[in-house]
Structure 1
Amino acid sequence: MDENQQTLLNTQRKITKKSNNGKTIDSQKDDIIEVDNSRTVLKKIATLYAERLMNDICLVVNDTEYPAHRLILCASSDVFEVMLMSPQWSESQESRITLQETPQCAVIFGEFLRYFYTGQIRISHSIVLPIISLADKYNVKDLISLCLNFMQTHIPLAAVQGTLISWLQYSINCGHYEITKGCHDFIKWNIELVSNSSDFANFEVDVLASLARQSSLVIPDEMTLYKCLETWLGYQKQRLKNSSCAADIDIAFKQIVFTVMTAVRFPMMSPRQLAELLLSPLTQKYKEFFVERMAIGMSFHSGQNYKVHEIIKMEENGLLLFEPRLYTVDTCSSLITVENFSGLLSYHTRTLVFSSQSYLADYVGDKSCEWVVDLYPKGVWFKKYFLIVWQGTVEMPEYVIRSVRLSLTCKEPPTDNGSGMGVKIGVLIYGIQDDVEHIVTVKEVVHRFDLNHRVLNLDNIIPFEDLNLKKDSINTSSATTSKYLVGPNKDTLKLHVIISPLNPFK
């Protein structure tokens, strides 16, 4: 008895079936069995392509011939189905069809076509774009899903390998909104990392300008953003030199400079940084434009609020110029880390004390506010206590909150205007994926502290179960590590707490 016969016999012994009236009966009685020999069938279909057997059509891409089968093409692609089955298409009557593909797509067209026969294809960060380009063009829905899933789970790798901006641009143009959001958020929260890649030059001007206008951008300070944009502008100038005539370069480049640099919030730079900008070659070349923008910053820092209000009225999105982003400089932020996270006991706390600036404008001085940050990464435990009320004493039972909590305490809220201190709070949560440490997510809250409201509790800043993964009691080697843990041993929780005063003109 060969292997196939033995498999058939074993299956016959085990399988049951349901009769028409819903009762389960032994399949042996009717000699009905069900077998799965799909692998062999797929192998046969793959052989048709590999050995070029019985093909009835030939696809030609860049002078390379790919013998194929109409049935397989139509079953795999909606586009091929319309092209080859609709009489109004001339291709439906032809046995040889020439396809126009980009050089990048032409190189992998054979692998793309082989997927139709085998359901297998090799995907990497460097070739996923031409693969999904072909899948989109010919509407191969299952392959589109595979590519999108790959991209969604390898965004950090694409960033360090220099393909992320290209992913973003493609997903925007083709309407893959989930990938667009994933790429956009990663860039917004990790723009310094992305700006160091060669792919940064591929940012389209409108997309970059839109990103640069956002208040949720994570950046050390506004000067760092200016330098990132300056680097990008250098790439664009070189591109214009390679593609335009000399007479058009200055006009086109000037427009690009104005478009992206209008998004820079010069009032958020210190007076010293504004003075340093005068030495920049870019600033000197377009002196009138930049001096006007820098003057807005100096008016703010010198307390000339009447000028500021005029600017807000005249300038489109003028209020944003005085809105702090998520700046990670020491004057408004501090890191808090929990090392040896796996050894931390439940309900234990890590505490951080730091100071942040109380005002944005320089003329007010360097007044600061002191904060106490308590982090509860493994839940919050409230012990049993007695509450004294007018009826008597009430016993309150202990209880536990399964939450990753960050508690902020403002020691002495400024009360200059009698309404306390309004702040924007940002909590940057780091993680690791594809061995790339980066900011995974950001929590933003606007809150006002005063003498009667000194404490703010932020719950679920990280999903509790995702951070505190339980080990498999049967197979401990299969235990996974939370994506929110970093460090050499992936056992460190790392957060960055940012506290900035609110825009004073809102």
Structure 2
Amino acid sequence: MVRSCERGIPSWVCVGTLLLLLHFHSVTVRGAALKQDGALDTVATVLNHSMGLVQRMESLLAQGNASDVTLRVQTINTDEVKVIQAHSLMLTLQSEVFEELLLSRNTSMVLLRETPECAAVFDKFIRYLYCGDISVRLDQAISLHKLASKYHVWALQQGLSQYMTQHLSSDSPTGHVIGWYNYALQIGDVTLRDSCLQYLSWNLTSVLQSREWISISEDLLLSLLQRSDLILQSELELYEALEAWMSQNQPVSMTVESALRAIRYGMIPPQHLFRLQKQSPLMVKHYESIRDLLYLTFQFHSASPIQLAKYINVNNCSIFTPRNYLSPSWGSPWLINNPTRDDRSFSFQSQLGPSGHDSSKRVTWNALFSPRWLPLSARSTYTELGTMQPTRTDGGRPRIIVTPATSSPDFAGVSFQKTVIVMARQQGKVVVRHVYNFHQSTEEAGDFLLEADLQRRSSEYLIDSSLYLHVVIKPLYQTLLVARK
């Protein structure tokens, strides 16, 4: 039976009347202000009492005053039941699913069955329907998102997706990014899925060192191993993390072989490969499945790339393609204090190539950063040596160029892909904010910091008013990639 509040009037009418009166009161106040201001020819003033209204709505839910529906939330596979006194008007205003449930009921009670995780946050979910705001913890995001999706509360669903995208770098005891990735994959949220995958790829070293790494699924593991944009210290670090994952998860042989063959052995120095052959239980056990790759790798390290290209075909072989390695052999960090002040430059060295034949050869690089300058195509200023210099302009954007300081016959057959990594602090943690890749034939990244406002001290691209960069040089043996027997 529907409850009444006074003289037999249904309670939902009372609640509706309350909301209408509050709205009429607000309109009356604003109307009076507008009328008075019209006489005085001044700008209207808005009196905002919305916070008080939210507090009254929260109190209405907490006390159950004039409620006309009882929600019995039963936790699946348990006897636990949570009872909430609610109001039909508030539920139907926010959720078409609740509207259908309430229209089809024949009593004042509605039975809802939820998983333990969703039942635990159901009070928060209902409060959002009354108040329009909600406090979210990392471990509650998926459960609340499930409830918002189930009951078609689209604004909350979208807000939770944005929350997860913006809190990938937050610290949590057991990790959350991999769980969010799996959930996004399950529900088909492409934006959240890609954001999680990018975060894992760009911050792989911290992921490998976390407890979350061991919980990664086989599909996600193989997906990451195929990527060339992974940012980590070295390929050896990735192999050792893979061995730890294998030891913990004991996957089937097909997964083991696929994962081992995705390691880029050509990027691991031969002295470390010799050690792995003898000391790595994983490699000893599955040596036959990767023997051809190891044989090719040792050939790669023992001869010059040009000589090797005469005898073997390595087309489509990823073991010769470097990832974004942060170790000193492949680049250098660059801290720029007060980046809007003036132009900066610095020099660093990288290994000519990953081949053991080139391990002792170094390339010296000059990097130039300017907060405001024109693109290369618009410059006409040259030094006496013929090198390009920045043309300062008030309308220019931040730019960076990376060029070799010298040329050498050793460069024959080698092309260099240059990557600039921008770090930032998010949720108290330093993470990769953006990655800029240079085309092999150009000196600069045209979209470098295109959306950054370096003039603003609170810019998300700055850490304590400084720009934290890491320049990575990825040598590619072009002759190897196109060679034929």
Note whether the superposition's TM-score is higher than 0.5. Answer: yes
| Corresponding residue of 1:451 | none
User: Structure 1 residues 57, 422: CA separation in 2 closer, same or farther (over 3 Å shift)?
Assistant: same
Q: Shift in Å at residue 398 of structure 1? A: 7.4
Which structure 2 residues correspond to residues 246-257 of structure 1 after superposition, within 5 A? 252-257=251-256
| Alpha-carbon contact 2:73-2:119 (below 8 Å) kept | no
Q: 2:356 aligns with which of 342, 362, 368?
A: 362
Name the CA distance, whole Å, in 2 between partners of 1:68 and 1:415. Answer: 79
- Corresponding residue for residue 394 of structure 1: none
Which whole-Å CA distance do the structure 2 matches of 1:436 and 1:483 have between them? 12
Aligned to 1:483: 460
Relative distance call for 1:468 and 1:460 in structure 2 (3 A) is farther
3-state DSSP of counterpart to 1:301: helix
Show the counterpart of 1:219.
232
- Aligned with residue 352 of structure 1, among 343, 346, 354: 346
The match for 1:270 is 269
Distance in 2 separating the partners of 1:189 and 1:411: 29
Aligned-pair distance for 1:41? 5.2
Is this contact kept in 1: 2:437–2:445, CA < 8 A?
A: no
Work out whether residues 428 and 495 of structure 1, in 8 Å CA contact, stay in contact via their aligned partners in 2.
yes
Shift in alpha-carbon separation, 1:67–1:14, aligned structure 2, 3 A: closer
Moved more, 300-309 or 324-333: 300-309
Which is further off, 490-499 or 52-61? 52-61
The alignment's TM-score, normalised by the length of structure 2, stands at 0.78
The amino acid that maps onto 2:440 is H
- Report the Cα distance in structure 2 between the residues aligned to 1:385 and 1:93, rounded to whole angstroms: 81
Residue 158 of structure 1: how far off its partner (Å): 4.6
Instruction: Identify if the C-alpha distance between structure 1 residues 106 and 417 changes in structure 2 by more than 3 Å, giving closer, same or farther.
Output: closer
Contact 2:73/2:111, CA 8 A, preserved across alignment:
yes
Identical-pair percentage: 24
Greater length-normalized contact order (CA 8 Å, ≥ 6 residues apart): 2
Paired letter, 2:85: P
Asked if 1:466 corresponds to 2:453, the answer is yes
The residue aligned with 1:391 is none
Structure 2 residue 204 is the aligned partner of structure 1 residue 210? no
Stretches of structure 2 lacking an aligned partner (at least 5 in a row) = 1-24, 76-80, 383-390
Question: Is contact 1:403–1:459 with CA below 8 Å preserved after alignment?
Answer: no
For the residue of structure 1 that corresponds to 2:443, the secondary structure is: strand
- The answer to whether the 8 A contact 1:405-1:459 is kept is yes
SS in 1 for 2:473: strand
**Counterpart residue identity of residue 405, structure 1:** R
Cα separation, partners in 2 of 1:207 and 1:78, compared to 1, 3 Å: farther
The answer to whether the Cα contact below 8 Å between 1:375 and 1:405 also exists between their aligned partners in 2 is yes
Report the counterpart of residue 175 of structure 1 in structure 2: 188
SS at match of 2:125: helix
Could you tell me how far apart the structure 1 residues matched to 2:476 and 2:470 are? 19
- TM-score, normalised to structure 1, is 0.75
2:34 to 15, 19, 29: 15
The secondary structure found in structure 1 opposite 2:397 is: coil
1: distance between equivalents of 2:371 and 2:246?
A: 43
- The Cα of 1:417 is off from its aligned counterpart by 8.1
Q: Distance in 2 between matches of 1:404 and 1:379?
A: 7
Matched residue of 1:170: which SS?
helix
CA contact (8 A) 2:373 2:393 kept: no
Q: Does 1:408 align with 2:426?
A: no
Q: CA deviation at 1:76?
A: 1.9
Distance 1:401 1:372, change over 3 A: farther
Question: Is the contact made by 1:15 and 1:34 (CA closer than 8 Å) also made in structure 2?
Answer: no
- Contact preservation (8 Å) 1:377, 1:403: yes
After superposition, give the CA deviation of every residue in 1:351-400 in whole Å (9 maximum; x if it has no partner). 21122222332235532222111121355799x9999xxxxxxxxx9744
Aligned residue for 2:297? 297
Q: Deviation at 1:442?
A: 0.5
**Structure 2: distance between partners of 1:10 and 1:67:** 33
2:62 is equivalent to residue 50 of structure 1: yes
Structure 1 equivalent of residue 248 of structure 2: 235
Name the amino acid aligned to 1:407.
I
SS at match of 2:436: strand
Equivalent AA in structure 2 for residue 329 of structure 1: S
Deviation at 1:350, TM superposition (A): 1.9
1:406 counterpart letter in structure 2: I
How far did residue 494 of structure 1 move?
A: 1.3
Report 1:5-404 matches (<5 A).
Answer: 11-16=30-35, 42-52=54-64, 53-62=66-75, 63-85=81-103, 92-93=105-106, 95-158=108-171, 162-237=175-250, 252-278=251-277, 279-303=279-303, 304-305=308-309, 308-309=312-313, 312=315, 318-339=316-337, 341=338, 345=341, 348-364=342-358, 366-377=360-371, 379=373, 399-404=393-398
What is the Cα deviation at residue 156 of structure 1? 1.1
In structure 1, stretches of 5+ residues that fail to align are 1-5, 18-23, 238-251, 313-317, 388-396, 449-454, 470-479
Aligned to 2:474: 500
For residues 118 and 381 of structure 2, the distance between their equivalents in structure 1, rounded to whole angstroms, comes to: 72
Which residue of the partner structure matches residue 443 of structure 2? Answer: 456
Q: How many Å apart are 1:224 and its aligned residue? A: 0.9
- Cα shift readout 1:167-199 (whole Å, capped 9, x = no counterpart): 222122222222222222221111111222222
Name the counterpart of 1:432: 425
Structure 1: distance between partners of 2:369 and 2:176: 36
In structure 1, what residue type is equivalent to 2:188? G
Following superposition, the deviation at residue 78 of structure 1 comes to 3.2
Counterpart Cα distance in 1 of 2:92 and 2:32: 39
Deviation at 1:444, TM superposition (A): 0.9
Total equivalences in the alignment: 434
The answer (yes or no) to whether the contact 1:73–1:116 under 8 Å persists in 2 is yes
**Which residue identity does 2:455 align to in structure 1?**
N
CA shift, 1:216, in A, is 0.8
